[in-house]
A and B are shown apart, each in its own frame.
Chain A
């Protein structure tokens, strides 16, 4: 249980209160401060030491800014601009406030009900929302203003009503999303009423989107309102408002350009503040509701700064225990040595792959096993130069068929991909472009690599589709990805990967998303392609069975390192690393119902929390002090069998007969 406790104590930023985190940001602090200032000034205007906004101080016409009694100057009639702006803020506040109140009062309940109830009611509400979405607000508002002359309240209420359907849509969408969350299903199974579920689970979740929409709507309403004021449709002349101040200033723009600055600036600033506020709320919510604990990333201690914890970085070159046999073996197609990949965050480099070395013969099939987060995908992505943004190859060499891929730039790598090394991924349907027929996608790849005409590319594509045993290739050619089953999509992806006649095919969990019967078919296909085309294969999989079935050698990875490597038979029948042995023992395939699974305690440590010494030590039943003290080197334990454990002997001694 010790391990669990430790993992749990990883303190996360989340513990700071949401409000504090929200304000801990220059944009947010500015916008909250500025908006508060505007609101307070507007409310307190009558008690502030200001001139009367409609009194004309006759001799002081067109006074520029800076004087003590008229800090922002005066207008064409000698009225104080500052005071007009502050009183104008009252008009703005009232108008936007009215619109916002209607917007929220209609939008939120309607969206909640529509999302929860669904069915015909939902269709109706969405239809009305569509309708009001495309209603030109200006028409309705002008019709109102032509009747209720210069009645700003009526106009802004109408703006609120028309806008509220946009909110309805958003609230409904979020409600449906939350409704389908498993934790809501769990709450229902726990016997909670819909009312409580709404209050506890739904409202907190949709509060963010609502605030974002409210701030967006407020700025639109503000623009609309000042626009009406500018056009002289909303306010009676002497009364101050931001829009009418601009209209007044515009008449004298050549004579006194300054007059137009203060009202325009305050509108722009207010809208900017509202925009920043919305963005910040959105970001904070996105963080808060992210399911994973990615937050931990930024806080990793920098203890991995020192050179990679490696005993012999040049192992692959001279000290390779297997190099003596090199003469007898077929030359390697791929040699990876000392590969290290790091994730770069603002404060630190976090290792995700450390000192990985392996090689692959021509026509060989290498399996890569290990649990999630152990760095398998990162390792093969590094081979292809396909590391995700933020990740970087920090060290190591990659020799492929005599070419040093680690010296290649993006351009050369892009030429290598597909023509030397192909990749197929875990999500077959998602890995095809949904907007093009599968045939045209594969044909594009064919043309890129073989420089053929369109017609030739088409026939090559049909051959490829036939080669991956898709029935009726010319029909599949015209299909879109969403029209294919997972298994068919994976075959298409394999065809596209082979379009450039690569020598190596990397299959990253190619069957995880597929049903078991389809899994077996895909593996069988890979095996026959290997024979037909003389391909080498790297197969990443969680499934020991599939690996055993296809691969002659296996690499076992744990927390960024290769912990064991050898022939499939050796590794599976006589594992020398406690992790390998533990994984095999926890596979229910191999245990009868009467026995208890020999489960390893704890779980794979998060990146950035790897121990100094043996990465597996916290979960290892054999761990001793020496395991924790220093990094463990790889050791050779048999022909082509290497293991990263100082006590590998004990596994042999203690293995049950």
Chain B
């Protein structure tokens, strides 16, 4: 991976990003993302790992404009987004999309799959009924669902099928960049594999660029070209997937790697390392 000669241009550049949440009228805002920088090139995947509360989701939300940027800049194909107008943001939503973590709450249970899928299209273009239906059918086929799904409600689908629908909703506007926020962590292992395969197939087919957020280093290692490790809002390690995923330098990444035991190494040194960790964290 390291020897790419003709590196494609960056689709997304994040420079010194910081984000804060207000906890109440009187309390000082709480900075959850601190001075984070990275970039993703066309057709590549950047994996973002970290434990819960480390700010992964918040970075994703800042990129799609769901939370405001406090400091730093986000460049999409060279265009600065941090302070762009609401109208411009809306236009850009055709190019930057997001897949959410929970396939159960990310689909409105009272709307049919077809209505849900048509919604982003209608926000951007004036399409005729037949064109809409055509787009919905073709995207459903693309994510491996039967087109008849369009007439049904989310409750009639399993978690994996719902996540396919959620992916279809993100892709129907033909975006360039997709922020995948823990798209498989609510899914079972066997279904997780299907979705990971699907995401990789679609990436190749549509030359998508992914920001792939997960707390699972193994999943990130499998999906990404590069990995960024986040701890308490700061990047602690950032580099190509092989190095970060196999031979990390930062102690935190090493701890993450060691703590996720691999099945076939029975009673490996993992727990010994973990025993050490207890001493460490309990004092």
Interface residues of A (CB under 8 A from B): 1, 4-5, 7-8, 10, 12, 14, 119-120, 123, 181-183, 185-193, 196, 200-201, 204-205, 288-293, 295, 371-372, 469-471, 515-517, 519-521, 523-525, 527, 542, 544-549, 568-569, 572-573, 582-591, 593, 596-601, 603-604, 606
Tell me whether B159 is interfacial, beta carbon within 8 Å. Answer: yes
| Contact call A7/B161, Cβ cutoff below 8 A | yes
Tell me whether B109 is interfacial, beta carbon within 8 Å. Answer: yes
Q: How far is the CB of B102 from chain A (nearest CB, A)?
A: 6
Q: How far is the CB of A108 from chain B (nearest CB, A)?
A: 19
Binary contact track B158-179/A, C-beta < 8 Å → 1, others 0: 1111000010011001000000
| B274 nearest CB neighbor, chain A only | A520
| Inter-chain contacts of B65 with A (CB < 8 A) | 188-189
Q: List 20 A-B contacts (CB under 8 A).
A: A8-B157, A190-B120, A192-B120, A200-B108, A288-B109, A288-B110, A291-B109, A292-B104, A371-B188, A470-B282, A516-B216, A521-B278, A542-B189, A548-B263, A549-B266, A587-B189, A588-B196, A589-B262, A599-B194, A599-B197
| Inter-chain contacts of B156 with A (CB < 8 A) | 8, 10, 12, 14, 293
A573-B264 contact in complex given A190-B119, A588-B221, C-beta closer than 8 Å:
yes
Tell me whether B52 is interfacial, beta carbon within 8 Å. Answer: yes
| Inter-chain contacts of B278 with A (CB < 8 A) | 469, 521, 524-525
Tell me whether B207 is interfacial, beta carbon within 8 Å. Answer: no
Interface residues of B (CB under 8 A from A): 25, 51-52, 61, 64-66, 89-91, 93-94, 96-98, 100-102, 104-111, 116, 119-120, 123-124, 144-146, 148-149, 152-161, 166, 169-170, 173, 188-194, 196-197, 200, 215-219, 221-223, 241, 255-256, 258-268, 270-271, 273-275, 277-278, 281-283
Given A291-B104, A471-B282, 18 further pairs, Cβ under 8 A = A8-B148, A181-B105, A181-B108, A186-B169, A189-B64, A189-B65, A189-B96, A191-B93, A192-B123, A290-B109, A515-B51, A527-B271, A548-B263, A572-B264, A584-B263, A586-B189, A593-B221, A603-B158
A590-B262 contact in complex given A291-B104, A469-B282, A603-B188, C-beta closer than 8 Å:
yes
Picked from B90, B106, B173, the residue with its CB within 8 Å of the CB of A183 is: B106
**Considering residues A10, A14, A190, A471, which has the most beta carbons from chain B within 10 angstroms of its beta carbon?**
A190
Q: How far is the CB of A575 from chain B (nearest CB, A)?
A: 11
| Inter-chain contacts of B158 with A (CB < 8 A) | 7, 603, 606
**Considering residues A186, A288, A292, A469, which has the most beta carbons from chain B within 10 angstroms of its beta carbon?**
A186
| B104 nearest CB neighbor, chain A only | A291
- How far is B196's CA from A600's CA once the two chains are assembled, in angstroms? 12
A588-B222 contact in complex given A542-B189, A603-B158, C-beta closer than 8 Å:
yes
Picked from A521, A585, A604, the residue with its CB within 8 Å of the CB of B277 is: A521
- How far is B223's CA from A585's CA once the two chains are assembled, in angstroms? 16
| B263 nearest CB neighbor, chain A only | A544
| Inter-chain contacts of B124 with A (CB < 8 A) | 191
- How far is B61's CA from A520's CA once the two chains are assembled, in angstroms? 30
- How far is B200's CA from A601's CA once the two chains are assembled, in angstroms? 16
A-B contact count (CB 8 A): 240
| A291 nearest CB neighbor, chain B only | B104
| Contact call B155/A589, Cβ cutoff below 8 A | no
Q: How far is the CB of B51 from chain A (nearest CB, A)?
A: 4
**Considering residues B154, B160, B190, which has the most beta carbons from chain A within 10 angstroms of its beta carbon?**
B190
| Contact call A190/B123, Cβ cutoff below 8 A | yes
| Contact call B196/A597, Cβ cutoff below 8 A | yes
| Inter-chain contacts of A371 with B (CB < 8 A) | 188-191
- How far is B246's CA from A209's CA once the two chains are assembled, in angstroms? 53
Picked from A8, A183, A471, A520, the residue with its CB within 8 Å of the CB of B283 is: A471
| Inter-chain contacts of A288 with B (CB < 8 A) | 109-110
| B164 nearest CB neighbor, chain A only | A4
- How far is B94's CA from A523's CA once the two chains are assembled, in angstroms? 45
| Contact call B261/A520, Cβ cutoff below 8 A | yes
| Contact call B123/A191, Cβ cutoff below 8 A | yes
Picked from B161, B166, B191, B277, the residue with its CB within 8 Å of the CB of A520 is: B277
| B145 nearest CB neighbor, chain A only | A4
**Considering residues A8, A469, A588, which has the most beta carbons from chain B within 10 angstroms of its beta carbon?**
A588
| Inter-chain contacts of B217 with A (CB < 8 A) | 516
- How far is B143's CA from A90's CA once the two chains are assembled, in angstroms? 59
- How far is B144's CA from A64's CA once the two chains are assembled, in angstroms? 75
- How far is B160's CA from A471's CA once the two chains are assembled, in angstroms? 42
| Inter-chain contacts of A5 with B (CB < 8 A) | 146, 148
A517-B255 contact in complex given A189-B93, A545-B261, C-beta closer than 8 Å:
yes
Picked from B101, B116, B194, B267, the residue with its CB within 8 Å of the CB of A549 is: B267
- How far is B240's CA from A357's CA once the two chains are assembled, in angstroms? 48
**Considering residues A8, A10, A544, which has the most beta carbons from chain B within 10 angstroms of its beta carbon?**
A8
| Inter-chain contacts of A189 with B (CB < 8 A) | 64-66, 93, 96-98, 170
| Inter-chain contacts of A527 with B (CB < 8 A) | 271
| Contact call A190/B258, Cβ cutoff below 8 A | no
Q: How far is the CB of B196 from chain A (nearest CB, A)?
A: 6
Q: How far is the CB of B171 from chain A (nearest CB, A)?
A: 12
| Inter-chain contacts of B144 with A (CB < 8 A) | 1, 4
| Inter-chain contacts of B119 with A (CB < 8 A) | 187, 190, 192, 200
Q: How far is the CB of B10 from chain A (nearest CB, A)?
A: 21
| Contact call B90/A548, Cβ cutoff below 8 A | no
| Contact call B66/A516, Cβ cutoff below 8 A | no
| B111 nearest CB neighbor, chain A only | A200
| A374 nearest CB neighbor, chain B only | B188
